[in-house]
Every structure is written in structure tokens, then in C-alpha cells.
Structure 1
Amino acid sequence: MARSFSRMWLPLILLLLVIPLVVSTFYISVLNNIGMFALATLGVVLLTGIAGMTSFGQAAFVGLSAYTTAALIAPSTLNLGAMMGAPWLALAAGLALTLLFALVLGLLTLRLQGHYLPLGTIAWGMALYSLFGTIESLGGHSGVPDLPPLRIFGLTFGDGPRMFYLIWGCVLLAIVLIRNLLESRLGRAIRALRGGQEMAASMGVDVFRTKMIVFLIAAALAGLSGWLYAYTQRFVSPGPFGVQAGIDYLFMALLGGIGSLWGAVIGSAAVVLMREWLQDWLPALLGHGGNYESIVFGLLIVLVMHRWPGGIWQGVARRLKLRQHGHMRLPQTGAAVEPLPRRPRPKPRERILDVRDVTRRFGGLVANRQMSLRVDAGEIVAVIGPNGAGKSTLFNLVSGVDVPDEGDVLFRGHRINGRTPRELAARGLSRTFQHVKLLPEMTVLENAAIGAHLRGHKGVFASALHLDGEDEARLLAEARRQLERVGLGEHLERTAGSLALGQQRILEIARALCADPCLLLLDEPAAGLRHKEKQALAELLRKLRSEGVAVLLVEHDMDFVMGLVDRVIVMEFGQRIAEGRPEEVQRDPAVLKAYLGGVEE
């Protein structure tokens, strides 16, 4: 049985309490450096490893906070912190300025895709490095010396055991808060950013806002590290904050384990210790004539990454059988949890979806031409047609992924052309995808709970401080209920990637149902399902129909469609060629021609 994550904390805290009592002053300084690196690297792990956004600017954020602190407390500069005796002033100013610059950089780059964020952070790092080196009042490239030591409540911290406890207390606190955050509704949205942004937006996640939150948290961690750096080193210069230093932080995250919070600590320790030892050993072995340290250091990193592609922490976790993936507070079976509120049910036969003469062109290709359809409450409508008929384009127009060139899409009487998938999710439209879009390393329960994202309300601070218990319990209870409803109740703690394809499609339906939709869009839901699974799915859809939910599905399995739906719409070359009850459509000559290539006279 996997060991509990919490069993690591007691021995770890005891170890950190004892270390300053048994090691030399030199190694206390080394461990202080590891802790400061680990704080900033935690931001890289959260930003790059978990949220999937590559940044080379972490060192620049550390430098901005360190220089702000130095400017406020150094005798040769403003000396405000020293005069006021308030290190908290320097911390608040450093964090505020760091977050302000991160906000501006995020607004400029986070809406863009691909390489813009990494390029933006590289440019940001180069600009700040040059700025630090050219401001004469901050010492230029010589830096700001003679910073006073940190004094809190009359205690002087210096760079010894007291600073060790402060630094590592900050590291452990940061790990706890980030881990709490990742266990929450917002944490699931953050983890969905890596490879699941389209799905997350369709479930109601504000993707840009979530990116910005992660970016600001990473910057705040760097800012805290910079504040500690200024007081520990008592000297600040541009060298440790350039682009190369930003690459080093990314290196530490990769080496320790880019997707693990503990990987930040292990990677920082590995890099710092390897450099210290190589600086001691290599001159004695190879002489002082060459820059052998960088060569050997690079080779060692390549060897470690070859042995453990997921980082050192992955290898350690596998050996100790520690849980590596999934952050979940599993709801107890039968626990008394107040159910989530549901949206008002549509009136019988209420027009839910009305597509009017929609046309969508891609250059010279007309994917949909004056396409119309309607779906009422308590009705199941199927859209069928050969490959390339325009069914997926139609789905994208209805779900907000794309915008029609002509015509209107009305949802419950309101025109939704140009509305985002998130806005439509809030109005009660939920969907699955032709190609399954799950987060394979997250559990089945967590994947389903993403669908209920808009039904929760707790934010960053409540999640990080674990003040979201009631909200989270209700979301997970709803996810459990829907999973049990679709027959996946026995697989809550399994990772979604370990399910068979048919089960993954059923999981997508459970996730969509967690949103409490009044219109459910299903893109080939029966693909990959066995016969009994198709029967169970059909029974579920009939039950949803009886509850007033409107269902629009695209499907190639004609046996499944014809025995289930109320109406069938047939498309060919982007146009509707037939519509009617299943038995009528099956006899339509135009349909037979589209599928069979002609009709015998």
C-alpha cells in the first residue's frame, strides 16, 4: 500500500531542527542557499511543471525583490528600512513591485500561445539585468554592499541557524500552501492548463485568469526568495539574476522533478551541492587550467536525467512507493453533504437550441452552408453524415469554439454568436469531445469534478489555507454521484489514463453532467464502447431526456442512434439533406445515396 504523504512531515521537521546543531557554519550557509533556491524553484515547478507555462524569468523576479530590499535598507541608498527598523517594509515593497511587473508581463504575454511567454521572460530577464547594472545609485555592476542583518522582534538573524530556520520554515510553508491549493477546485483548474485548456474552458474555467494566478504566485515566491537573499548575503549585484540564472532555476526543477513540489527542493539541493563539490574536487584532480566544472556538471545532469527522466524525486518516490500524482480529498461514502444547487429546469418542449441558416467558410472551403437545426427540452437529436460532412464544425459553432460567418445560434432564446465556451458553460451548455480530452495523471474523481468548476466559489486564499472544506466536499460529492450514475463509482481513485477508451468516454459524460447542463453535446459518445456499455449509455440518455435535458449528439453507430433518438439530421458537404424520425430517415433516398453512393431503381 502506498505510504501517506503526511508521514514524511514529522521526520523531515525533526531533521531540519537538528541539522544546525550538528553541521558546520559553512554547510548551514550552503543549506540556506538551497532553501532560497528552492523557494524560487517552487514557482518554476508550479508554473512550468504543473501549469505547463515555460518561464526563464524567475531569477529576474528574485533580483527585483532583492534590489528593492537593498534600496530600502542599505546605508548607501535610501536606508528607509534601516531607519524605520522594519524589514516588513522591504518585504512588502519587494513583493508589491515584483507582482506589479509580473502582472504587466502576464497581461502582455499570457493570452498568447506557444513561445511568447518564454521569449517574453527572457527579454524581461535581459532588460532587468541591464537595468541593475546601469543604475549608479544601486552600485552598477559592483552592486550594493554592507546591507544590515535581518532583525525581527529584537533578534538578529544573520546567515546562521536562525536564518536557516526562517528560510526553511518559508519553504515548508510554501509547500503546504501550494499543495493545499492544488487539492482544491482552483488547483484542478491550474493542473488542467497543461494540455487541457480547451476542455477546461468548456467546463467553465477562466483560463486566462487561472494562468495569471499561477504566474503571480510564482513571482511572489521569487520575491520572497529575493528578500531572504538580500538579508542573508547582505550584498546584492546583478550577476545572480541574469538570464543564465533563470535557466539554472529551470534546470533545478527538471533535475529534481518538474511536476513535483518536492522536486524543487531536491533539484535545488542537487545543483548547489554538485557545484560546491565540483569546485573543491576538480582543481585537485584536473588542475586549474580549464573550465572543467561546467563540462562535468553538464555531463552529470545528462546522466541523472537519462536515469530518471521524470527527475530525482520520481525515482525516489517510486522506490519508496510514495504517491506522485493526484491531489484529492476523497469524500466519504454516505457522508452528509449538502448537495449543490441546481439550475432551474427548462419548461417542457422549451426551445433550447436554435441554429438558423449558419454558414462557416475556411478560405474557399464551405464547411457549413445555411445549416439549421433545433433541439427542445427533453429531446435527443442526432446529427449524422459521412466523414467531412461538417458535423464537427457545427459542434464547434454551437459550443463557442468557433464563430459563424453568417446566420445565428440561439441558446434558450439568446443569440450566442461569439460567446466563449466558458460563458456558454455558465448558461448550461456542456459537452464531450470527439477525441477524448482528459487529464490522464489526475484521478477519475478529479477529472469529473472539473465539470463542476462553476458550481464552486472559493478562491486562492481560501484554497491555500484549506478554508474551502465545505465547498470542496460538495463538489467532490457531486462528482462521485455522477460517476456512480454512469457506472464508474468503483474507479474513483484510479488515474484517468489507466481507464479503457470506452470508460474514458463515459468519464467525459460524467464530467459534463457535473456542470448540471440543460443542453448536452455529445461527440461520438458510443465510439469504443462495448455492447453492454452502449446499452447503459442509452438508458442514461433516456433518463436525462425524462428530466428535461436536451441532448445533441454526433454519432457513426447507426444501431445506437436509431434505437435512441427522437429525430435525426443528416448532413453532407456541410448541408442538411434530411431530417425526421429515425425510421423516416432510414428510407430517405438522399440519405441512402450519401451513405451507399446510389439507390437501385
Structure 2
Amino acid sequence: MRKLWHHKFFGLFLVVVFALPVLPHPVHVPEYWITLLNYIGLYSIVAVGLVLLTGIGGMTSFGQAAFVGVGAYATAYLTTQYAVSPWLALVAGIVLTVFVALVIGAITMRLSGHFLPLGTIAWGLSLYYLFGNLEALGKYDGINGIPALRVLGVSLESGRSIYYLIWLVVFGAVVSMQNLLNSRPGRAIRSLRGAGLMAEAMGVNTTWMRVVIFVYSAVLAAISGFLYAHLQRAVNPTPFGLNHGIEYLFMAVVGGVSHVWGAILGAAILTVVQDYLQTLLPMLLGQSGNFEIIVFGVLMVLLLQYARQGVWPFVARWFPRGPRAHVPEHAEPLARRAKPAAGELLLAVDRARKEFGGLVAVNDVSFEVKAGQIVGLIGPNGAGKSTTFNLVTGVLQVTRGQIHFHGERIDALSSREIVKRGIGRTFQHVKLLPGMTVLENVALGAHLRGSAGVWRSIARLNATEEGRLMAEAAQQIRRVGLEQHMYDEAGSLALGQQRILEIARALCCDPTLLLLDEPAAGLRYQEKQRLAELLRKLKAEGMSVLLVEHDMDFVMNLADQLVVMEFGTRIAHGLPQDVQNDPAVVEAYLGGVE
């Protein structure tokens, strides 16, 4: 029913938007409102890209107006100077935009914190002044005489005639964005904001993914610029400066920076409010100053104060939707890696050492994990357990020593290269995407088991693979006993269930070795018992586990082998009953417990 309501909203919106220009008298829409709707559509295309880049990808950009200028100037220059077809000029503009965005993105997207928005301001201003100083582009006078677009022999000379093309592009941008977000790369993109470490551990190349969404948002801005140039039939640098870049970002934020439909709503709100203020305030306060800028700023501050998630969440209550992802009835299973024979050596840590300046966090630690074993890595706080764990998973690199997995040296590999070889992991502090369903969170673990990229996902050419990934995620959810929560948001689960969910996500990587970082931390007794039962079940299925844990009762009753650390050094290694009676362990950790 929820999904049906969403489709009704989409259909209603389409009917209203595309029927407006042809309404008969007495409700005929005047040319002024058609012009206003055209600009709302143009701004919406840019704002949709900013929703992807800023709201979902977590990268604030003030420079999108410059990419609008790249698209506008490309078609203006080629169509007026060389009589190139506007549609060929569009292709050329997109190619140019991709090249410029790749160069800028490769540098800018490596920045973080306040350096990133400052970087976008810098290149935005650079392109703006480039437009205004190049003789070939007419300097600040710009380029005039841009030809009208023609579609199927029909000339789109008037605002009313180009209206349909603009809004077709708007809906194409919305649909393509929703297709992308509900896909394998889309889940990776949604993990960029605040969960980059987890995404890397699932095999996502977060640096490249940031560049990809930067390029895609730039392409949408360039398409908007192309349409703007043929609507206006002239371009100059003014609409492509920093002020307009800030306005585009405002549109995305006001509408709802994490919501695709919010981009259209935000563009409509800002465009109408600005137009209304420019008409009303001079009548009230006179023509002597730009009072509309002051009032507009106050209104924006108030809006952001009382609607911090934007306006769209309030509207969306009337049109709720169901879960984005669903498990298909029939799907071909994903390929699985061969399981090692019981007792085969999987992981060998050989005199691993990690130094942070003068601090030795891990001091020449050695241990092994064999197939079919549960090995516990224990010790008091500050013993170096988590650092050792991060050395094995590639989060940190060893200062000295070696780590081998299946006979291959892995201590110089990145997290995503290590998970590719069959090591799955969970985290000490749960790292989930709380707004995504349990199914989607677990499916993120199968990222490396799919191949569909951004462009296939946008075009919806990934349906078969997506079905297989969802079926695999559902299987792992059933395997850990969370099937009743499959379509619940991950943030709504209890802590114990979230830790189980992390294990399901790690299992979706199809690992031969599972690394669990304090999985029982914060759990109640019964939750610990259920977790222990799950780990025994996984061991019976042939899974090998390396476990970092503080709860001694939990570890003693579960592990086949224990490694005890203190101050970065291994002080004991062996069977749980032998380790428990080791004098060094009793003194350092157990405190004399019988």
C-alpha cells in the first residue's frame, strides 16, 4: 500500500506538470508562470546532483554553478562559431565536463572537513573568471545568437515549447538517481557519509566512488546549462558565479538534502520566494536597496532552524513509500569460494610490530588461526588487541613483521584487497547505515560479489545481478536469525540485533575467516547466549573465527585457542583451560579468578 501511494504521487506530479502549459481558459497558465517553471526545472536538475553529492555522499560543493557554465558555454561556442548541431554540442559539453570534473575531482575529493568546501569555492571562482576573461567566449559580454533547439523537426523557440523538454530532463534525472541509489553502487554511495571505514572493509573503493558521484553531479549541472543556453539564446558569466553556486546548495538543503524529490521542492520554494520578495518589497520599502536579500536570508535561517532535514520530510508523510529493496522469488545463487579443509593453516601472524612514533602498540606478536577454529584474542584495556586486529584487516600497516593468509602475504594490502581474499569483519563500535533496511545493510557486504557499475545502474540494466545480491543478503539474514526484521530500518534494532546484523553483513562477503571485534560488548546475558549459539553454528558449518573480546566467560566457553596480550606483547597462547591457569595471565588479566 505504501509503495502504491508513492506511485500515485509520482503519477499525479507528472500529470500536473505536463498538463499546465495546455490548460484551456479560464485556467490558462500565463507565460510568466511558464518561465518561472522553466527556471525551477533547470535549477532542479542541478539540485538533484547536489542531493547525490552533498546530502548522500557527504561532500559539500559551492561550485556547481561553474559546471552549469561549462555546459552552457560549450553549446553556445560550438553552435555559434562552428554551426555545430546543438545535440552534438551537448555531447561535446558532457565530454568536456567529465574531463574537467575528473581533473578537479581527483584533487578536490581527497580533501575533507572544511578544506573540501573551500576547495570547491576555489575552483568555482577559477572557472567563473575563466569565462569572463577568455576572448573566444566574449569575456563578460558573453555569447549571443544561440540557435533554438529542434526536436523531431519542431523548433523550441518559446519558453512554452521548451518547457516539456526541461521537465522531461528533470524527471529523467530523478528516475536515474533513484535507480542509482537502489543499486549495488548506490548502497556504496550511501555509505560514504560517516561510514567510509566500514565501506572500505566491505570492498568499496571510497576515493573513486567520491570522484564518480562528483562527475555525475557535474554532468547533470552541465545538462542544465545546455538547456539554459538554448532557453535564453545567450550566455554571459553572471549566472555561473559563486552566488548562484550557494543558491543551488540552498535549494538542495531547503528541500531536503538527503531526498531526491526534495531537490525539486527546494528549487520551487527558493525560486518562488525570491520572485515574490523582489516584487513585494520594493512596493513596501522603496527601490533604494536590495532588501529582498536581507529578508530572504532571515527566512532561510528560520527555515533551517525549524526544518533541519528540509521541507520534503513533511510532504513525504502524505506519500509514504515501502522499502526500496525486495528479495526476488527466484534468483540464481552467487558463486562461492572453496572452503579450506579442517585444520588447514589460514592466518599466520609472524612477529607483527606496530609503532606510533615512540609508542610500541604491538610488540612482535605471533599466532595462528587454522580452518574450523575459533581463536580468541584477549587482554586488558590498552593491550593492543584492536591494533593487532586492524593490522590483520589492513586498516593499519605493520611497522615490521609479516602477516600471511592462505600462504599469501597480506600485511601491505588495503582493507578492500584483504576482504577480496576472504576475510570478513565486524567493528568494535557498530557501523551500520541506520536509515537503510536490514536487507540493504547486509547486501552491502556482497559489494565485491557484483560487478554492475554506476552507468548500468542508472539505466536499470542491473536487475538480474541486483536480484542475486538481494537473495544472498536474505539468505545470510535467515542464517543469523533476523528474518523477521529484514525490511526494518537498521537503526530501529536493539544493540544485540545490530551486532548480529554486522555478522550477517560480514558473512555476505563469503569469507573463509571471520574477524569479530568485541561482538558481545554491551549485550545482555541472553543476547550473549544467542551470539555464542550463532558462532558455534557457524563453526559447525566450517567457518573460522578470530575473536577480540573482554568477556572472559563468553570467550572461555567458546574459543578453541586463546592468545593473551598485555602492553602490546603476547604473554600466553594455548587452550582456554591452560591459559586460564597461566600465572602471567592471572596476574595481568584474570585477577586471581579460579
Normalising by structure 2, we get a TM-score of: 0.96
How many residue pairs match? The answer is: 588
Q: Does 1:468 align with 2:468?
A: no
Task: Determine the C-alpha separation between the residues in 2 that align with 1:114 and 1:296.
Answer: 30
Task: Give, in angstroms, the shift of residue 598 of structure 1.
Answer: 7.1
Q: Deviations over 1:211-263 (max 9, x none)?
A: 12211110110110010010001110111101121111111111111001111
Task: Determine the C-alpha separation between the residues in 2 that align with 1:345 and 1:366.
Answer: 36
Task: Give, in angstroms, the shift of residue 327 of structure 1.
Answer: 6.0
Q: Secondary structure at the match of 2:428?
A: coil
Please give the residue correspondences for 1:315-354 in structure 2 after superposition, counting only pairs within 5 Å: 315-318=314-317, 320=318, 322-323=320-321, 328-332=324-328, 335-354=329-348
Name the counterpart of 2:531. Answer: 537
Task: Give, in angstroms, the shift of residue 540 of structure 1.
Answer: 2.1
Q: Secondary structure at the match of 2:101?
A: helix
Task: Determine the C-alpha separation between the residues in 2 that align with 1:331 and 1:599.
Answer: 49
Please give the residue correspondences for 1:427-506 in structure 2 after superposition, counting only pairs within 5 Å: 427-506=421-500
Name the counterpart of 1:39. Answer: 45
Task: Determine the C-alpha separation between the residues in 2 that align with 1:185 and 1:137.
Answer: 43
Normalising by structure 1, we get a TM-score of: 0.95
Q: After superposing the two structures, state which structure 1 stretch, 257-266 or 118-127, moved more.
A: 118-127
Name the counterpart of 1:186. Answer: 185
Q: Does 1:113 align with 2:118?
A: no
- Contact conserved, 2:323 with 2:487, CA < 8 A, in 1? no
Q: Secondary structure at the match of 1:360?
A: strand
Q: Determine what percentage of the aligned residue pairs are the same residue.
A: 54
Task: Determine the C-alpha separation between the residues in 2 that align with 1:136 and 1:109.
Answer: 28
Name the counterpart of 1:288. Answer: 287
Task: Determine the C-alpha separation between the residues in 2 that align with 1:309 and 1:321.
Answer: 20
Pick closer, same or farther for the CA change 1:54–1:327 going to 2, 3 Å: farther
Name the counterpart of 1:79. Answer: 82
Q: After superposing the two structures, state which structure 1 stretch, 21-30 or 251-260, moved more.
A: 21-30
Q: After superposing the two structures, state which structure 1 stretch, 139-148 or 219-228, moved more.
A: 139-148
Name the counterpart of 2:35. Answer: 29
Name the counterpart of 1:380. Answer: 374
- Structure 2: give runs of 5+ residues left out of the alignment: 23-27
Task: Determine the C-alpha separation between the residues in 2 that align with 1:131 and 1:457.
Answer: 39
Task: Determine the C-alpha separation between the residues in 1 that align with 2:593 and 2:470.
Answer: 53
Task: Determine the C-alpha separation between the residues in 2 that align with 1:349 and 1:103.
Answer: 49
Q: After superposing the two structures, state which structure 1 stretch, 257-266 or 542-551, moved more.
A: 542-551
- Structure 1: give runs of 5+ residues left out of the alignment: none
Task: Determine the C-alpha separation between the residues in 2 that align with 1:362 and 1:548.
Answer: 37
Task: Give, in angstroms, the shift of residue 329 of structure 1.
Answer: 2.5
Task: Give, in angstroms, the shift of residue 534 of structure 1.
Answer: 2.1
Q: Does 1:18 align with 2:12?
A: no
Q: After superposing the two structures, state which structure 1 stretch, 118-127 or 496-505, moved more.
A: 118-127
- Contact conserved, 2:6 with 2:319, CA < 8 A, in 1? no
Task: Give, in angstroms, the shift of residue 301 of structure 1.
Answer: 1.2
Task: Determine the C-alpha separation between the residues in 1 that align with 2:347 and 2:397.
Answer: 16
Amino acid of the structure 2 residue aligned with 1:569: V
Name the counterpart of 2:520. Answer: 526
Pick closer, same or farther for the CA change 1:322–1:538 going to 2, 3 Å: same
Q: Secondary structure at the match of 2:352?
A: strand
Name the counterpart of 1:301. Answer: 300
Pick closer, same or farther for the CA change 1:169–1:327 going to 2, 3 Å: farther
Name the counterpart of 1:175. Answer: 174
Q: Deviations over 1:367-424 (max 9, x none)?
A: 0001111001100000110000000100110000001111001111111122011001
Q: After superposing the two structures, state which structure 1 stretch, 534-543 or 438-447, moved more.
A: 534-543
Q: Secondary structure at the match of 2:258?
A: coil
Q: Does 1:398 align with 2:392?
A: yes
Q: After superposing the two structures, state which structure 1 stretch, 262-271 or 305-314, moved more.
A: 305-314
Task: Give, in angstroms, the shift of residue 560 of structure 1.
Answer: 1.0
Name the counterpart of 2:152. Answer: 153
Task: Give, in angstroms, the shift of residue 321 of structure 1.
Answer: 5.1
Task: Give, in angstroms, the shift of residue 599 of structure 1.
Answer: 9.6
Task: Give, in angstroms, the shift of residue 153 of structure 1.
Answer: 2.5
Task: Determine the C-alpha separation between the residues in 2 that align with 1:72 and 1:421.
Answer: 46
Q: After superposing the two structures, state which structure 1 stretch, 251-260 or 115-124, moved more.
A: 115-124
Q: Does 1:574 align with 2:568?
A: yes
Task: Give, in angstroms, the shift of residue 152 of structure 1.
Answer: 2.4
Q: Secondary structure at the match of 2:144?
A: coil
Name the counterpart of 1:416. Answer: 410
Q: Deviations over 1:118-157 (max 9, x none)?
A: 2222111111111111112322112112222112232111
Amino acid of the structure 1 residue aligned with 2:33: Y
Task: Determine the C-alpha separation between the residues in 2 that align with 1:201 and 1:134.
Answer: 43
Task: Determine the C-alpha separation between the residues in 1 that align with 2:172 and 2:571.
Answer: 63
Task: Determine the C-alpha separation between the residues in 2 that align with 1:453 and 1:137.
Answer: 47
